[in-house]
Amino acid sequence: MTKKKTATQRKPSKPSSHGHSHRQGDCVNLLRQLSAYIDDELPSDVCTEIRRHMGACPNCEVFIASLQHTVTLCRHRPAPPLTSADRKNMRRAILDAANAQ
């Protein structure tokens, strides 16, 4: 008698040619460190692990490339002029959002 695979069962992770086993948790961990990675604020061993993950995960590779491009565009774009009323409204919206959590 053979067991049928249920929807909750997962396939085991396959190691890539880089010796990297890909799991969804790896993507989540990468996303948590993404800002520091893009700003080059992480130790070299962590950056190496992130690059290894990207080599094994095309989705993360595309996402990071897109984000890096977006950050570059934002850095080279002048900040829009804001009135004091705009600044006050933004502060209020940020505080409201923070308090809602």
The predicted model gives 44-69 an average pLDDT of 91
Residue 57 in domain = yes
The predicted model gives 30-47 an average pLDDT of 89
Domain boundaries, position 45: 20-78
Query: What was the pLDDT predicted at 23?
Result: 63
Structure pTM?
A: 0.50
More confident residue, 20 or 75: 75
Residue 6 · residue 37 · CB < 8 Å: no
The predicted model gives 86-92 an average pLDDT of 94
The predicted model gives 38-52 an average pLDDT of 91
Domain count within the chain:
1
Residue 95 in domain = no
Residue 43 CA to residue 37 CA, distance in Å, equals: 9
